[in-house]
Amino acid sequence: MSAKVIDGKAEAERLRGAVAEEVARLKADHGFVPGLAVVLVGEDPASKVYVSSKAKQTVEVGMTSYEHKLPADTPEADVLALVERLNQDPGVDGILVQLPLPKHIDSTKVLETIAPDKDVDGFHVVNVGKLSTGQWSLVPCTPYGSMMLLRSTLGKLSGLEAVVVGRSNIVGKPMAQLLLKANCTVTVAHSRTKDLPAVCRRADIVVAAVGIPELVKGDWIKPGATVIDVGINRVPAPEKGEGKTKLVGDVDYASAAKVAGAITPVPGGVGPMTIATLLGNTLIAACRRRGLTPPTYFAQIDKDLFG
């Protein structure tokens, strides 16, 4: 058997199209343009790529992009002051502080300074709390995008057995919450899990968010299961030439695709959905802050996923 390849790039393009239409409508009917501010501290090359890609796509859907690039040695107090300023800025609807931050800066402190109604990453403790008590909130982009891919692949998820490998605050834990909200039976595995292959083999849905290249093998996957590979790892690719690199996920794609029913590729899977849902979250935040109902498009997605 050969797995269906879940096309995150195409799904992300559809989502961005819907966001762009809504942005145009808000401008025409209500006279405002949503704005997203992205803060990057330091020179991490991967982070720079993501941030410029976010800025480009923000402009493409018709929103305003504010980029704040600060040197790696910026004092914590300056980053906090910038976030406070963005909180007060009426043109800014969404704030994203790119992680990881340099070691001398306390990320928790920075994330907790972001106004919860502008927290388009969904990392503020208020939004985390709302998600875990089943109330509506701004939902972390990568898990939200992964849920959308699962919905278009499987339809209803109710009653399915899901295993999330990884328990980070930004992917694993919120992913588990969303799967639970969609009525899956959820197991969260991590570095201390005993017999991870056996735990994965139980799953109808495997979500890998570990950060270890190609950790999850084909013989860990139940035949026909759906595999969501969140991992983004840059590894050497000598076959492409000396000094060349390539992106691989946390799943060994070649062996897993032989067994799974459906699988996300890397690149072109979860990654593009992360940015598209970020734009969606900015739109939702922009509407809510002005007392407008967020577009029905998103309400429908949420109803399909969790209703």
Ligand X SMILES: NC(=O)C1=CN([C@@H]2O[C@H](COP(=O)(O)OP(=O)(O)OC[C@H]3O[C@@H](n4cnc5c(N)ncnc54)[C@H](OP(=O)(O)O)[C@@H]3O)[C@@H](O)[C@H]2O)C=CC1
Ligand Y SMILES: Nc1nc(=O)c2c([nH]1)NC[C@@H]1CN(c3ccc(C(=O)N[C@@H](CCC(=O)O)C(=O)O)cc3)C=[N+]21
**Tokens linked to 171:** 């992917």
Of all residues in this chain, which one has the CB nearest to ligand X in the complex? 168
Contact between 124 and 112 under an 8 Å Cβ cutoff? The reply is yes
Strand extents, DSSP E, 42-86: 64-70
Among 203, 225, 232, 257, binds ligand Y (CB under 6 A): 232
Q: Out of ligand X, ligand Y, none, which partner does residue 230 contact, by CB within 5 to 8 A per kind?
A: ligand X
Q: Nearest approach, Cβ of 178 to ligand X (angstroms)?
A: 14
- Residue 221 annotated as binding? no
- Residue 166 annotated as binding? yes
Binding of ligand Y by 230 (CB under 6 A):
no
Q: Out of ligand X, ligand Y, none, which partner does residue 268 contact, by CB within 5 to 8 A per kind?
A: ligand Y
Q: Out of ligand X, ligand Y, none, which partner does residue 192 contact, by CB within 5 to 8 A per kind?
A: ligand X
Residues 72-111 close enough to bind ligand Y by CB under 6 A: 96-99
List Cα–Cα distances, 143 to 1, 81, 123, 173, in angstroms. Answer: 28, 29, 12, 9
Cα(299)–Cα(65) distance, integer angstroms: 25
Active site (catalytic) residues = 54, 98, 121
Residues 5-34 close enough to bind ligand Y by CB under 6 A: none
Q: What are the counts of helices (DSSP H) followed by strands (DSSP E) for the chain?
A: 11, 11
Omega of the bond leading into 236 within 30 degrees of 0 (cis): no
- Residue 307 annotated as binding? no
**Tokens linked to 118:** 């502008």
Q: Nearest approach, Cβ of 250 to ligand Y (angstroms)?
A: 12
- Residue 167 annotated as binding? yes
**Minimum CB distance to ligand X smaller for 81 or for 235:** 235
Residues 260-289 close enough to bind ligand Y by CB under 6 A: 266-268, 271-272, 274-275
Looking only at the bridges linking them, the beta strands covering 205-208 and 161-165 are: parallel
**Greatest Cα-to-Cα distance within the chain, rounded to the nearest angstrom:** 56
Q: Nearest approach, Cβ of 303 to ligand Y (angstroms)?
A: 25
Of all residues in this chain, which one has the CB nearest to ligand Y in the complex? 271
**Minimum CB distance to ligand X smaller for 182 or for 273:** 273
Q: Out of ligand X, ligand Y, none, which partner does residue 190 contact, by CB within 5 to 8 A per kind?
A: ligand X
Give helix 141-154 / helix 296-306 axis angle, nearest 10°. Answer: 70
Cα(305)–Cα(307) distance, integer angstroms: 6
The secondary structure of residue 138, as a DSSP letter, is P
Q: Out of ligand Y, ligand X, none, which partner does residue 229 contact, by CB within 5 to 8 A per kind?
A: none
The residues with which 67 forms a beta bridge, in sequence order, are 38
**Minimum CB distance to ligand Y smaller for 24 or for 72:** 72
Q: Nearest approach, Cβ of 28 to ligand Y (angstroms)?
A: 30
Q: Out of ligand Y, ligand X, none, which partner does residue 132 contact, by CB within 5 to 8 A per kind?
A: none
CA dihedral 33, 46, 144, 123 (to 10 degrees): -80
Q: Nearest approach, Cβ of 175 to ligand Y (angstroms)?
A: 13
CA dihedral 150, 152, 156, 160 (to 10 degrees): -30
The strand order across the sheet containing 205-208 reads 4-5, 262-263, 226-229, 205-208, 161-165, 185-189
Annotated binding site for NADP(+): which residue ranges?
166-168, 232
> Which residues in this chain contact ligand Y in the complex, by CB under 6 A?
49-50, 53, 96-99, 121, 141-142, 232, 247, 266-268, 271-272, 274-275
- Residue numbers in the known binding site are 166-168, 232
